[in-house]
Every structure is written in C-alpha cells, then in structure tokens.
Structure 1
Amino acid sequence: MLNTRNRAGVSALILASLASPVWGGDLPAPVTDEDYLTVSPSEVALGQLLFFDPILSGNDNISCSTCHHPKFGTSDGLSLGLGEGGVGLGPMRVADPQNLPEHRVPRNAPALYNLGAHEYTRMFHDGRVEEVDGHLRVPIEDGFFATVSGVLATQAAFPVLSPDEMGGQVSENPLSKAIRKGQFSGPGGAWDMIAGKVAAIPAYQQRFEATYPEIAFGRPIAFADISNAVAAFMAFEFRSDNSPFDQYLRGDEAALSDQAKAGMALFYGEAGCAACHSGAFQTDHDFHAMGQPQFGPGKTLIFEQGARDEGRFRVTGQPQDLYAFRTPALRNVTLTSPYGHTGAYADLRDFVVAHLAPSEALMTYDRAQAVLPDLPVADWEVMDTEADVAAILSAIKVPDRSLPDDQIDALMAFLAALEDNPNRLGVPDTVPSGLPFEK
C-alpha cells in the first residue's frame, strides 16, 4: 500500500503524464504475430528435448538449460555462471570438488525472452554474432554458418564450443580436444562430433526424420539441424508478449495500476529510460558504456594479460566502443537477477539506482552484491587496479543523477508490469539420451 507521500507523488506524475505527448505517441505499438519468426510444431518439440539434453556437452553433463533455466528467468541466478566443473542448478550451483572449474563463465547468462522476434539481429552482450544487411557476421570463419536458419540458430551454436560452458576442460573429452585444436566443422570437428552423438540415439534420428524431410531421404543429421531446432524452441517457448503492459497497449486501461502508469510515464518521459530501452521490448539493441563493475576472468584472448572485458570494442576495434555492452531487453526483468554484464547487482532496485548514477556506483560498489559460488580464482583483479577502474569510468558518457524514492517506486511498478513468464511446453520429464538433467 502506498504511503501518503508516495501517493501524492504518483498522483502528480499521473496528472503530468496525461498532458504529455509521451503518454500516447511515444509508446511502442502492440506486439503481434508478425513480429516473430514462424516455427513448426515438430521443430519446436524436437528443440525442447535438445535444449534440456546434456548430450550436447562434452561430458554429457550440461545442457542449454543449465545456464538458461525457466526457473530463473531463462538465466541461472548467478553473477557469473559455472558450466563445466559445476554441480547443481541456479544459485545453488557450486564448484565440483572432484573436478574444479578452471574459470567462471566470463559474463552473466543473458535471458532468452523474445529472441525469436525479427528485431533481434544481434546476439550476446557484445553483439559478436549479428545480422548486417541480410548477412551474418560472426567471430570465426566457417562454412557452417551458411547452413543455419538465421542469427538465433547461429547464437545457439556457440556455447558448445566454450570449454567453460559446455565443451569441457582441456583434453578431458574428445569434444574439448577438438575445440582446443580449433576444429569445428568437418570430420573430427566439434559440431560434427555432437551431431554424431545425437544421431546415434534412435529416438532422435526418428524425430529428425519426421521434422526435416531431407534427413528422412538419407542426409545425415548436421549440427545446423540441431541449432535450428533449438532456435525454434527458444523462439516459441520464450515468447513473452502478454504482460500487463502488453494488455495496456492493446487497449485494456485497467491492466496497469496507477503506480505502474506513473512509472511508465517516467520511463518514456522525464526519467529518460527509453532513450536506450526503447521499442517493443525496451531495448535499442545498441551498445553503451554504463560503468558496470568488472570482475571474474574477463573476456580476453589466450595470449593477453589481465581480466578486462572491453565489451563491444573487442568486436569493432573502435575506441568509442570501449566498455560498451548491449542494452538488455526488460521483459521479465524482475525474474532475471543478477543484473549487468557481470551480474554485479543481485537486487533490481539497487541496479536501477546505480544505473542512474554509474560513476558514483562504480566507485562505491559493494562486492557483496555479486552472487559468486566459492572458487579458488582471483575475481577482483580489475576492480583492484586503479588504472582499470579509471578506464571504465572514462568511458561513461552520461552524467550521474538521482530520482526521489517515490519515482523509483513507480519505475519498479512499471518494470513489474513487464512480467509475463511464458510456460508453453515447459521442462520435459525425460530426454532421448536418457541422461539426467536439472529440473
């Protein structure tokens, strides 16, 4: 229940918003079926099984859902995840004392909501997989990418190549050995190796034949088929377009509370959130340097020193892209803690306040906010190095500011009105490999 001070503040915001053109003209149009990829039911059902099946990993112990589970907003509840060498699910996932991870996953596991919308042409925090003028741009050259269905299926092909995510640690299985040698396509390559494992399971072979006619006529299962099916499942399963905000856009005035309407007026008005969090899913799909704390292993090449993550700069080489990361979409943001490319903030309200004043927030960051399972690694090298912190600060292009508590309350109410956690096929009881997986 709102106290008297907050009720007065919200009422004032509502009255102001009713007179503002932001209230009507600058809200996004309602989402429709035409905004999304078209997928087939058989491909979606096949993709569901593959998404939850550890058969795609080097040690048959990690699935896509390990780091992107519906229970945790299609993320994992950790600041930086543990793939290979971890046991358990979500925030309860810990390092396996019998097989300690070599590293944490360098970046926070992003949510998967609405990735099947046509407007998603960039993937990952740095956009290193993107569609430009109808052509895919990827960080490695391989003919494989000409065989996938699009940018979402391309994204789905990369986690299996990461030793820290799904591939396995150095030389502990055939897949990790192929990855170490840079062998991805062709005989002995990582993708063909996984496709062979899947094809050896009769139930999968039958489902692929039923889904892709050319396989029924004798073409072997390729990893592109696996990626395409997983992408179809993600596009269908995690389509989120029936939140109270969506209902309001479709004409239901009662779908939003007065406080959420006040937050919406702020978001699309004087608070300026929509300058970056624009469009149907509250993202401009662009990259901005917002001074997020950097910890963990960073995103560097093998021969480089340090634990920096310079974001979009590593893709473009442009100085203006230093420490810039993609604007995250905000659908179901209330479910996807922690927040930021390193998951630096466990609490959404704390993140919003820090986001308003990024320079001050970086300098006063409380490291207890990070959700990091115990691991004998150095996590804070960058934050303990004055020059690195100064470099992150210098990249910030927005001034610090603050909003009164009642306006933060209203923004939080609006963010809660973006929640629509879809539950379509859900988690399967079993997968064709028969392997156990986290439910």
Structure 2
Amino acid sequence: MKRKILALLGSAALLTGALGSSVVAAQDLPPLATLPSPAIPADNPTTAEKVELGKKLFWDGRLSGNGAMGCVACHQPDLGWGTGGPISLGYPGTQHWRNSQTILNSAYYNKLFWEGSVTSLESQAPGAAGGAVAGNGDGSMMEMKLRFVPEYVAGFRQVFGTDWPHIAQAWQAIAAFQRTLVTDPAKVPFDRYLAGDETALTDAAKRGKELFEGKGGCLSCHNGALASDERYYNLGVPAAPEFGQDPLYQISLRWELYQKGVPEAVYRAGDDDLGLYHKTKRPDDKGKFRTPSLRELRWTDPYMHNGIFATLADVVDFYDGGGGEGNTVLKPLGLSQDEKADLAAFLEALSMDEPLLMDEPELPKTATWAEFLK
C-alpha cells in the first residue's frame, strides 16, 4: 500500500510540474540503487546450455522471413545493442518507425517495447521476429528451418528434452540469453560510489547527482535500480523528420495506425507515432511512451522513441526547456550551462566504463534433404 501511495504522489507531482519544483522530495521516491541479479521465471529456468543455444539463435537469420534479419540485425553489440541510428532498420522493402531500444538490462523490465505491449522477454522475441516491419517471419516456417539444422535438433533435445525444435522453445532460449546482457555494477562509477568508493564519481558527476535528485526533478520518473518507473508520459518529443521526407516511413506509420485499429478520424489526421494510445485507444494516452532506463546511456545513443536526440546534451537541453509541444509533464528548469554539463556527467556515470561487447558465434549449417534422411 505504501508503494502505491508513493507512486500516486509521484504521479501527482509530475502533473503539477514537479520536475521544475520540489512538490515531492527525493526521499519520498525509490532511490537509485544497484541492480540486483535479474529475476528468472519459473517456467524458463536458466542453464548454461540454454544460454549458449539462445546466443546462436539471437544471431541466426533463419529466425526471420528472408533468412537475414536475426535479432542481432537490430541489436548489434558494437552499437549499444541497438542500431546506432535514429530509426531502427526495416525488413527489406519496408521501413521501421521507432528507435531500436537497447536490450541491455531488458531483463529488468516488466513492460517491453516503447508502448509496453508485452510483459516478458519470451513474448517480446516473437513480436519482433514476426513483425511485418521487423523480422517478418512466420512461426511455422521458422520452426521448420530449425528442424533442418542437425546441431539445433541435438541442442533443443539436450536443453528442452524434445525430439524436434519448437518455436516457443527458441524464444525461451533467446530470452535466457538476453537475461545475461546486464550491467556489471563493478564496472559502473555510480554503483562503485554507492558501494563506498568516494572517488568513483568525478566532482562534476557528484554535482550532477544533486541536480538529478533535487532541482532537476529527474528522480520523479527515473528512480529505483533501473532508473525507470516504467510509467508512460507525453513529453512533447518532436516528430522524427524522416516521416515527412521518405514515403516508406509514411507508409509504415499509416500501416501501424491502420493495423492497430485506430478510429478513421485518427488515421486520417495521424502524422506521428501515437505511442501508448495504440494499446489503450484512450485519447489522453496519445504521445505517451514508457520511461526508459538511464543505465548505459553512454553507449546507447541516440535517444527517445524516435532517436530524435543525438547526444545527452541534447536531451538535457530538451528537459531544461520544459519539453516540447503537447507536453503534459515538464516545466522549464532554468539550469545554467555548467549545471547542464554536470547533469550530463552524472548520467554518463550510470554506464559501465566500457561497452558490453560480444563475438559473433559460429552458426550451424542447414542440412540438405539427403543429409537429413541419413
């Protein structure tokens, strides 16, 4: 009950512009903390063999429509486990319409995708692999592709005890792998500071921490170990210019509006991503997106649901200015240039000292029909 009351207080503070004031004090919100080990679902226990299988499947383009759009296509280790660009890659012949979120620390979210449309990694994977502007794969076809790979047949039998790979098991293995892609607190300046190392944060980052928890009001939405309350807000983020410059972007936008079942009047007038509204169909939810984690920001640019901001300085400027048109949350902060630099320094201190990189696994070969019959 206490947690619910605090959440309501935080929401009320936001609606009255607490991000520019001190209506709710930092001590009344869940403080930033070190991430614990991710929770493991009882119906998908983690094993080393399952993680290794999931890693291969994550890289394997056979889990897509054209054999080349595996998970890694949009979540590349050397690009912060995203694409490094504003809008994600589209399936060949299409164009995606949102920024490809990093999957770093996705193990901690209970709402995935920018509008929180799924609640587990196991259900996120098929949504991406089968999405018409993402992987465009058919589940039964992807499953048959796996069954013609002898190494996968053996691997699924070892991990799941089944005679043949089943597509739902592939998503479970990929989810198990993704739960290993998490922040290492020993490599994060802020977490070392929390553990008692006063030298872990620079003076600028320490000043930025005070701004984050005080004048900046950042803790109102970015709290707890994940630095996200996983709620939804309309900040008035500017529309992606791509939607007005490239017909494929406009086609994707119109298709998303149509296939998500918006009323005709909304479809006719739609010129931007409507966010949470696509899920709820409540007018007040237009333009709302889930609060992203602030962890690993140093390695996961650009920012926002459409990648509109290239740098952390751009993001800080946006918040300092009180958000954009249609914003229902933010108030101008009046930060000085030095204060904005300090705040950006603290945000960087929530990231590991080096990016989390990983070598590409060697993928097994598909058998010919003659080999398959042996």
TM-score by length of 1: 0.68
Please identify, of 291-300 and 310-319, the stretch whose mean Cα deviation from structure 2 is larger.
291-300
Q: Is 1:401 the counterpart of 2:358 in the alignment?
A: no
1:394 CA displacement: 3.1
Q: Is 1:153 the counterpart of 2:122 in the alignment?
A: yes
1:237 CA displacement: 2.6
Distance (Å, rounded) in 1 between the aligned partners of 2:170 and 2:64: 13
Q: Secondary structure of 1:129's match? A: coil
Aligned to 1:89: none
Any stretches of 5+ residues in structure 2 without a counterpart?
1-24, 244-249, 367-374
Aligned to 1:11: none
Distance (Å, rounded) in 1 between the aligned partners of 2:107 and 2:350: 18
1:22 CA displacement: 5.3
Q: Is 1:261 the counterpart of 2:224 in the alignment?
A: no
1:62 CA displacement: 1.4
Write out aligned runs for 1:28-427 (5 A).
28-33=32-37, 39-85=46-92, 101-102=93-94, 104-117=95-108, 120-130=109-119, 151-167=120-136, 175=137, 190-213=138-161, 215=162, 218=163, 220-242=164-186, 243-295=188-240, 296=243, 297=250, 298=253, 299-302=256-259, 304-305=267-268, 306-359=270-323, 362=324, 393-420=325-352, 423=356, 426-427=358-359
Q: Secondary structure of 1:157's match? A: helix
Distance (Å, rounded) in 2 between the aligned partners of 1:320 and 1:264: 32
Q: Which amino acid aligns with 1:232?
A: A
Q: Which amino acid aligns with 2:292?
A: P
What's the CA shift string for 1:111-132, capped at 9, x where partnerless? 1121223xx21010011113xx
1:44 CA displacement: 0.7
1:68 CA displacement: 0.7
* Inter-CA distance 222–70: structure 2 relative to 1 (3 Å threshold): same
Distance (Å, rounded) in 2 between the aligned partners of 1:260 and 1:36: 33
Any stretches of 5+ residues in structure 1 without a counterpart?
1-20, 86-100, 131-150, 168-174, 176-189, 363-392, 435-439
Q: Which amino acid aligns with 1:241?
A: P
* Inter-CA distance 289–250: structure 2 relative to 1 (3 Å threshold): same
Q: Secondary structure of 1:261's match? A: helix
Distance (Å, rounded) in 2 between the aligned partners of 1:332 and 1:395: 26
1:344 CA displacement: 0.6
Q: Secondary structure of 2:50's match? A: helix
Q: Which amino acid aligns with 2:31?
A: L
* Inter-CA distance 240–318: structure 2 relative to 1 (3 Å threshold): farther
What's the CA shift string for 1:359-395, capped at 9, x where partnerless? 4xx4xxxxxxxxxxxxxxxxxxxxxxxxxxxxxx235
* Inter-CA distance 71–334: structure 2 relative to 1 (3 Å threshold): same
Distance (Å, rounded) in 2 between the aligned partners of 1:294 and 1:400: 20
What's the CA shift string for 1:292-331, capped at 9, x where partnerless? 1123333412484443311111212223212110111011
What's the CA shift string for 1:16-45, capped at 9, x where partnerless? xxxxx9599963343333656662111111
Distance (Å, rounded) in 2 between the aligned partners of 1:238 and 1:84: 27
Q: Which amino acid aligns with 1:407?
A: E
Distance (Å, rounded) in 2 between the aligned partners of 1:79 and 1:208: 36
Q: Which amino acid aligns with 1:110?
A: Q
Equivalent pair of 2:80/2:355 in contact (CA under 8 Å):
no
Q: Which amino acid aligns with 1:192?
A: S
What's the CA shift string for 1:144-190, capped at 9, x where partnerless? xxxxxxx11101111122222111xxxxxxx5xxxxxxxxxxxxxx2
What's the CA shift string for 1:19-77, capped at 9, x where partnerless? xx959996334333365666211111111101111111111111111111111111101
Q: Aligned pairs, how many?
A: 318
Equivalent pair of 1:114/1:240 in contact (CA under 8 Å):
no
Q: Secondary structure of 1:237's match? A: coil
Distance (Å, rounded) in 2 between the aligned partners of 1:339 and 1:422: 17
* Inter-CA distance 251–162: structure 2 relative to 1 (3 Å threshold): same
Q: Which amino acid aligns with 2:329?
A: K
Distance (Å, rounded) in 2 between the aligned partners of 1:159 and 1:263: 37
Identical columns (%): 30
Equivalent pair of 2:70/2:129 in contact (CA under 8 Å):
no
Q: Secondary structure of 1:192's match? A: helix
Q: Secondary structure of 1:160's match? A: helix
Aligned to 2:10: none
1:289 CA displacement: 0.3
Distance (Å, rounded) in 2 between the aligned partners of 1:254 and 1:274: 23
Equivalent pair of 1:291/1:358 in contact (CA under 8 Å):
no
* Inter-CA distance 329–210: structure 2 relative to 1 (3 Å threshold): same
Equivalent pair of 1:80/1:109 in contact (CA under 8 Å):
yes
Distance (Å, rounded) in 2 between the aligned partners of 1:41 and 1:261: 39
